[in-house]
Amino acid sequence: MKNALLALLCAISLEACAALSIQEPLNVTIADLKPIEVGVLEQRYALKIRLLNPNDTEIAFDGVVFDLEINDVPFAKGVSDQKSVIPRFGEALIDVQAVSGLQNILRQINELLKGERTNLTYRIKGRLHGGGFGFTRFDSSGEIAIPAGIEKSGVDTERASPDRTKRPNP
């Protein structure tokens, strides 16, 4: 009986050590962002988020909580009760929604109208909640290129302005 109890304690200890092993952080990127509801005071967005797991163990989750910053300024927040599993050394693509307020979108529009940026930076941070207890944190950053030709007015001036060098045919 003592040997069985000792073997059980050893097995539990080894399992606990494996669970506490150092894990590499998840790499989280935004694969797509689309507005789905635009109101005067609030905007809703559909996001596709790619979760890359560089670890040797799968990560099962049944909830997501996240904050999205654009150009180092808080932009949107989201939660989801979506369930999924990120395979070991694999990836998962999940669909979530985020909410942004009027002030957040106006800040970003103002930055774009200044015309000084060639890209937008984003940071997405949050938690994947596991079934029962425990969670996995993530904090990743990336860039989105702004298409060339967008100037302060937000209009591609080469395509929008008429060619004044041509004379009309009589």
Copy the structure tokens of residue 109.
């529009």
State pTM to two decimals.
0.71
The per-residue pLDDT for 153 is 45
Residue at 45 is within a domain = yes
30: left (phi over 0), alpha (psi -120 to 50) or beta: beta
The per-residue pLDDT for 133 is 73
Helical residues (DSSP H) of the chain, grouped into ranges: 2-19, 102-114, 157-160
- Domain containing 64 equals 23-146
Residue at 156 is within a domain = no
Residue at 33 is within a domain = yes
Q: Are strands 63-70 and 42-52 parallel, antiparallel or unpaired?
A: unpaired
Copy the structure tokens of residue 86.
């990120």
The per-residue pLDDT for 149 is 60
Number of domains in the chain: 1
Residue at 160 is within a domain = no
Residue at 153 is within a domain = no
pLDDT by residue, tens only, the chain of 170 residues: 677 666 656 556 655 555 555 689 999 999 999 999 998 899 999 999 999 999 999 999 999 999 999 989 999 999 999 999 999 999 999 999 999 998 888 888 787 788 777 788 999 999 999 877 789 999 999 998 877 665 444 444 343 333 433 444 44
Residue at 1 is within a domain = no
3-state secondary structure of 150: strand
134 and 76 Cβ atoms separated by less than 8 Å: no
What gap in Å lies between CA 32 and CA 110, rounded to an integer? Answer: 22
Q: Which CATH number does the domain housing residue 43 bear?
A: 2.60.40.1820
What gap in Å lies between CA 102 and CA 15, rounded to an integer? Answer: 49
